[in-house]
Amino acid sequence: MIGRLGKRLMPAALTTGSLLAFVAFWQVVSLYTNPDFLPSPGRVWDEAVRLFHTPVGGKDILAHVGYSLRRVLTAYLWAILLGLPLGLCMGWNRTCEKIVSPIFELLRPIPPIAWIPIAILWLGVAEGSKVFICFVGSFVILVLNSYTGMRYVDPLLIDAARSFGASRRQQFFNVAVPACLPSIFAGLQNALSMAWMCVLAAELVGAREGVGFIIIQGMDLNRPPMILVGMILIGIVGSLLAASLRWAERALCPWRRELV
Amino acid sequence: MTEQTAKIECRDLSKAFHVPGQDQRLLVLDRVSLTVRENEFLVVLGPGQCGKTVLLNCIAGLIEPSAGQVLLDGTPVTRPGPDRAMVFQRYALMPWKTVEHNVAFGLAVRGVPMKERREIAHRYIDLVGLKGFEKAYPEQLSGGMKQRVGIARAYANAPDILLMDEPFGALDAQTRYAMEQDLRSIWEKDKRTVIFVTNNIEEAIYLGDRILVMSVLPGRVKAEYAIDIPSPRNYTDPAFLTYRKQISNATDLSL
């Protein structure tokens, strides 16, 4: 009886335990450190409460999160709209692969951050350049994942579909695309966290709003707690985004067995 | 249509493949000719590497022969079609589809309405003994059950011809016997023209009306046996054992 209840509570207990241990460790370390370098968890909490009530740069903290999120999601949707079909076509059609992949292989190794200067010159310091950076980051990942996923589709499944008289179109939409859904989801997951990373890089370079701006403000005002609040917010929002995608994957790919 | 009409006819079928790193093309099928009567159960028996699968793929229309032709009811085969259905050794089920949707695959491809698809799928799921597993995913089934889905999928599309490519090759001996018995009784209930490829003599004698023995590469038809044992057949029947001795003496398949 205890065993069964224990099994159900165990994961939750482990999660809470590990978070508490982390905060405790932080608390202990902060006791022995100059508080100007590493503020204690309590001070960071107070700072978070203060930021919720006092606007920074004319906007409250949730509005800043909203700005960053909007940039990320706009870029992400464009990346899905353009990158997914492109990657799938590259994996499906030889001609398409031969045309696109040489260009893509050249652009791929350029880190998204390296696009920041040219993006600012082209699109200005406002929204355009930030969305563009996020787009570049997530687009590349989405193309690569859907392309690889398509290349690893078992040809036997295509043969089976062909033997039942499926047209080329049916082979693509009813067999090949669902077969690579798992790698598409891996790509969606990675692309979203990449976009989230890129938005911060872009905001650090120059922004008047967004989570990146809060961190830079913290640095300019010499307020470590403010920087940490910004960083923790980034972590929380990022993991919420990842969790919602994992949930979507479970709902859309119920046949997949998972190890954990 | 008379008894004598050929349902399937292969005329001097040859197939050669280009092998990377070799100048000469590898001859896999060498002027194979055969005929199959309507509703006959033909077994093609041969060791690995005798071009059995290539022969089947040519008849399915999945690959094009280098020479010769395949005729179905007198018409040359150029592409796959709903008149033929294939059962694969590695099952080839769609992992994202439930048993029901896998079985209905061929029907969905042909645009059969949803309700009718469901009905037909359920009928054949019952026939292969998988009632209650309609909503399961292939991943949750054993090898034998997966192949039952494969057989139901082929049957559900109402083909004239079933092409079976070592369908029980990946199963353990026990399951294999059970599947052979079930396949034979399903076929007796619902007769189709079958070409069944195997490397197992027992399986060939248990299932076939007629057995074609093929040689190792290049694949040729080496011998032909008509199996005249009434159903239900028994693996230890004297007549069965006589056929078995006769065929294994005449072939290089050791048993």
pLDDT tier at A260 (50, 70, 90 boundaries)?
Answer: low
Report the alpha-carbon distance of residue A149 to residue A103 in Å, rounded: 20
Nearest to A73 by CA among A167, A209, A188, A236: A188
Query: Is the CB of residue A169 less than 8 Å away from at least one CB of chain B?
Result: no
Q: What percentage of chain A carries pLDDT values higher than 70?
A: 97
pLDDT at A2: 57
pLDDT at A142: 94
pLDDT tier at A172 (50, 70, 90 boundaries)?
Answer: very high
Helix axes A127-151, A116-123, angle to 10 degrees: 130
pLDDT tier at A190 (50, 70, 90 boundaries)?
Answer: very high
**Hey, CA dihedral for A43, A49, A51, A54, is it positive or negative?**
negative
Mean pLDDT, range B152-158, rounded to an integer: 90
| Residue B224, beta-bridge partner list | B212
pLDDT at A3: 67
**Which of A157, A164, A258 best probes binding to B when mutated, by most B CB atoms within 10 angstroms?**
A164
Q: Cα A114 to the chain's mean position, in Å? A: 19
Q: What is the pLDDT of residues B14-23, one digit of tens each?
A: 888 888 887 7
Going by DSSP bridges, is the β-strand pair B41-45/B193-198 parallel, antiparallel, or unpaired? parallel
Backbone φ and ψ for B203, nearest 5 degrees, come out as -60, -40
pLDDT at A259: 58
Q: What is the pLDDT of residues B164-195, one digit of tens each?
A: 998 998 888 888 888 888 888 888 888 889 99
pLDDT tier at B1 (50, 70, 90 boundaries)?
Answer: very low
When the pLDDT of each residue in chain A is averaged and rounded to a whole number, the result is 89
Burial A86-95 (b: 16+ CB within 10 A, else e): bbbbbbbeee
Q: Is the pLDDT of residue B196 over 60?
A: yes
Give residues with Cβ within 8 angstroms of B106, minimum separation 6: A164, A165, B82, B85, B153, B154, B156, B157
Query: Is the CB of residue B177 less than 8 Å away from at least one CB of chain A?
Result: no
Q: Record the pTM.
A: 0.82
pLDDT at B255: 40
pLDDT at A204: 87
Residues recorded for chain B:
255
Rg (CA), chain A: 23
Q: What is the pLDDT of residues A61-74, one digit of tens each?
A: 889 999 999 999 99
Q: What percentage of chain A carries pLDDT values higher than 90?
A: 54
Q: Is the pLDDT of residue B68 over 90?
A: no
pLDDT tier at B2 (50, 70, 90 boundaries)?
Answer: very low
Q: Is the pLDDT of residue B91 over 80?
A: yes
Q: Is residue A120 within 8 Å of residue A206, measured between CB atoms?
A: yes
- Domains, in order of start, for chain A: 57-253 (1.10.3720.10)
Q: What is the pLDDT of residues B23-58, one digit of tens each?
A: 788 888 888 888 898 888 999 988 877 788 888 889
Q: Is the pLDDT of residue A56 over 50?
A: yes
Mean pLDDT, range A80-96, rounded to an integer: 93
Which residues of chain A lie closer than 8 angstroms to B80, CB-CB? 162-165
Query: Is the CB of residue B110 less than 8 Å away from at least one CB of chain A?
Result: yes
Mean pLDDT, range A10-39, rounded to an integer: 88
Report the alpha-carbon distance of residue A242 to residue B230 in Å, rounded: 63
**Which of B58, B78, B96 best probes binding to A when mutated, by most A CB atoms within 10 angstroms?**
B96
Q: Which amino acid is at A150?
A: M
Instruction: Say whether A255 and B84 touch across the interface (CB within 8 A).
Output: no
Eight-state DSSP code of residue B163: E
**ipTM rounded to 2 decimals:** 0.85
Going by DSSP bridges, is the β-strand pair B84-87/B161-165 parallel, antiparallel, or unpaired? parallel
pLDDT at A177: 94
Instruction: Say whether B85 and A161 touch across the interface (CB within 8 A).
Output: no
Instruction: Say whether A255 and B95 touch across the interface (CB within 8 A).
Output: yes
Which residues of chain B lie closer than 8 angstroms to A184, CB-CB? none
Report the alpha-carbon distance of residue B151 to residue B143 in Å, rounded: 12
Of B62, B95, B139, the CB nearest to A163: B62
Q: Is the pLDDT of residue A103 over 70?
A: yes
When the pLDDT of each residue in chain B is averaged and rounded to a whole number, the result is 86
Q: Is the pLDDT of residue B119 over 70?
A: yes
Q: Is residue B178 within 8 Å of residue B207, measured between CB atoms?
A: no
Q: What is the pLDDT of residues B199-233, one digit of tens each?
A: 888 888 889 889 988 888 788 888 888 888 887 78
Q: Is the pLDDT of residue B254 over 50?
A: no
Mean pLDDT, range A139-162, rounded to an integer: 93
Q: How many CA atoms lie within 13 A of B162 on its CB side?
A: 30
